[in-house]
Structure 1
Amino acid sequence: MKQPLFRPYRWAVIYSVILTASVSFTLLDTFVLPKSLADASFTSPPSTTVAGSSGSAASSWEDVSAAAETETVSQSKAVITDTSYEDENVKISIETVRKYDSTLYVADIQVSDPSYLKTALANQTYGRNITATTSDIAEENNAIFAINGDFYGFRDSGYVLRNGVAYRDTARSGDNDALVIDKDGNLSVVSEGEVSMDSLSEQGAWQVLSFGPGLVEGGSIVVDSSSEVGKAMASNPRTAIGQVSELHYMVVVSDGRTSESEGLSLLQLAQELKDRGCTVAYNLDGGGSSTMYFNGEVVNKPTSGRSIGERKVSDIVYIGY
């Protein structure tokens, strides 16, 4: 008589248990378990020398220290209201608009130097499943204004260049747009499949974010009524950034997926940015990630459609010293 362990169905059960455990671990490792891959706590502004490059990185510390003192004085003289901030280097005004059966929050931003347009990673760490809310990342970096970024950690591919440091040089497959912010603070949209990360760095890229698509290029809308991100719904909470002119930016965040605010299509989002003078504009992560932070408060009403509140994300784009 065969022992129970050697009956064929027993082996099937054991195999199923092992397979289930393996799949569960893979899913946990991919989507849940935090994994730090690089420290992102120090980044030099575009005007200083990055350690490891030609020139003296050490000498830049004196410049940074002197600039920090000047900037502290500037912030202390800032004129701040619930919807605006202005000092000698940064000017931000925020307007709330009802349009397309949705609530839009539009930020008009002007800075005196490209170094005030920054990015930051959650917990100052590049890695897998390293997340925090937009407001927490903003507060950790003393941001005046912030929006969610591209949520790079949700994918294993897509260029990631932040504050001059390349963290991931693997392009996404297919036709995907990346946002490039160069050392002069100018925005441009490129196709990841047509240009390498090395090439972008050599051309002066300071930030590269991978979500998309591009919305406005050369002053013209480049999406249509059928454009969408993956299999997302046609109307969503959205986050987008555009450039009007040198060191002059426009940001639009929309609420969505609620009875009070339907959300925007990509075409509507592009039209809003074009109408406000943007010559280039780019769609960042949306849905439950869409968040605008200003002067210590979350301005919009982030929601996934099921619950109200901020989603934890990988990164932010922000204005600050």
Structure 2
Amino acid sequence: MKQLFNWLKKPFRLGIIYSLCLTLTVGYVLLDTFVIPKELASNDANTQSLDPNQTTTKESATTTAATITDTSYQDENISIAIATERANDTTFYVVDIQLSSADYLKTAFAQGSYGRNIKETTSTIAKEQQAILAINGDYYGFRDTGYVLRNGETYRDTPWEGTDALVIDSAGNFSTYSEDDNSLADILTAQNAQQVLSFGPTLIQDSQIVISTNTEVSQSKSSNPRTAIGQIDDRHYVMIVSDGRTDESEGLSLYQLAEEFASRGASIAYNLDGGGSSTLWFNGQVINQPTDGRQIKERSVSDIIYIGY
């Protein structure tokens, strides 16, 4: 013991021990924040994690055979048509969706669980849900704030200040609200909200573009891969996913993205997580070219929006 005490009396040795402890502490904090999966509880009582092969609104299978091509799906309840477009030196994909019921517009968590650092690729989550079509969601797990309400259950009600929330009600109608609105929780209850996504900004409101040419997501490039969703009419939706960050496809600005929704008659449109997360999956295949700027590869995300039974 005396030898240890004498050894510790050397100032530089105490410094070494202090530095080692600090490094280990910082390392653990970073791992806990960004790497270690941690399942969290919902804010609603008696809520359980979703089964990865079943959502809370799973319907029975359609009674008629579907007609499926490389770019379309049609049955008695769901109509999907995918068009590949080119503008602003960018390739993007426009999905026109018409549903007989809002029940077929769904969301799902990676691994069927809400929590921090719980991630899977969009295609993996889509296959687990037996989806027909899917896009990446808002990547709620990348941060600790922002409303998370999925399939009628509230998982997080901490506002992301300065951000718009997309609300989808039980009839499948879209609306957006600032998360700075202190009455948002009451609004969600009054609207019987089924889904709330937190990313933004709102691109189209009341059929008008509501952003400027300079509007951009924080720390994002002006031209980027993008994922966004809009509503044209009752149970009639449009999704747009753009490629970007490659020599073949530059990427869209938010304003250019809004223009594409406006030209297709969207009454409301909302920007979702983009960049390396942007993914469009249809009938077992990734349709776009997801990339982080270095390689064509799907990024693992925390959630998806999908069409399915």
Fold shared by both chains (TM-score > 0.5): yes
Distance 2:19 2:56 in 1: 51
Q: CA deviation at 1:197?
A: 3.0
Distance 1:261 1:247 in 2: 31
Question: What amino acid sits opposite 1:300 in the alignment?
Answer: N
Give the deviation of 1:43 after TM superposition. 4.8
User: Could you tell me the percent identity over the aligned residues?
Assistant: 58
Taking the TM superposition and a 5 Å limit, the aligned residue runs for 1:1-321 are 3-38=6-41, 39-41=49-51, 43-45=55-57, 68=60, 71-74=61-64, 77-173=65-161, 175-194=162-181, 195-321=183-309
**Partner secondary structure for residue 270 of structure 2:** strand
**1:3 match: secondary structure:** helix
| More off after superposition, 118-127 vs 2-11 | 2-11
How large is the RMSD of aligned CA atoms in angstroms?
Answer: 1.5
Deviation digits for residues 161-206 of structure 1 (CA, Å, limit 9, x no counterpart): 0000100010012x11010000000011110110333531332111
How far off is 1:308 after superposition?
A: 1.0
Q: Distance in 2 between matches of 1:270 and 1:307?
A: 27
Give 1:73 shift.
2.4
Q: Is the 8 A contact 1:151 1:313 kept in 2?
A: yes
Show CA shifts across 1:22-81 (max 9, x none).
111000000000011141236543xxxxxxxxxxxxxxxxxx7xx51xx3423xx11111
Q: Secondary structure at the residue paired with 1:97? A: strand
Q: Which amino acid aligns with 1:9?
A: F
Which runs of 5 or more structure 2 residues have no equivalent in the other structure?
42-48
Q: Once structures 1 and 2 are overlaid, which stretch shifts more, 148-157 or 14-23?
A: 14-23
Stretch of structure 1 that moved more, 309-318 or 220-229: 220-229
Does the 8 A contact of 1:179 with 1:187 survive in 2? yes
- Count matched residues: 296
Instruction: Compute the displacement of 1:19 (Å).
Output: 0.9
Gaps of 5+ in 1: 46-63
Measured in 2, the distance between the counterparts of 1:102 and 1:209 equals: 26
Q: Is the 8 A contact 1:93 1:109 kept in 2?
A: yes
Amino acid of the structure 2 residue aligned with 1:291: T
Query: Residue deviations 1:203-224, cap 9 Å, x none?
Result: 2111000011110001111111
Q: What's the TM-score once normalised by structure 2's chain length? A: 0.93
Amino acid corresponding to residue 110 of structure 1 in structure 2: Q
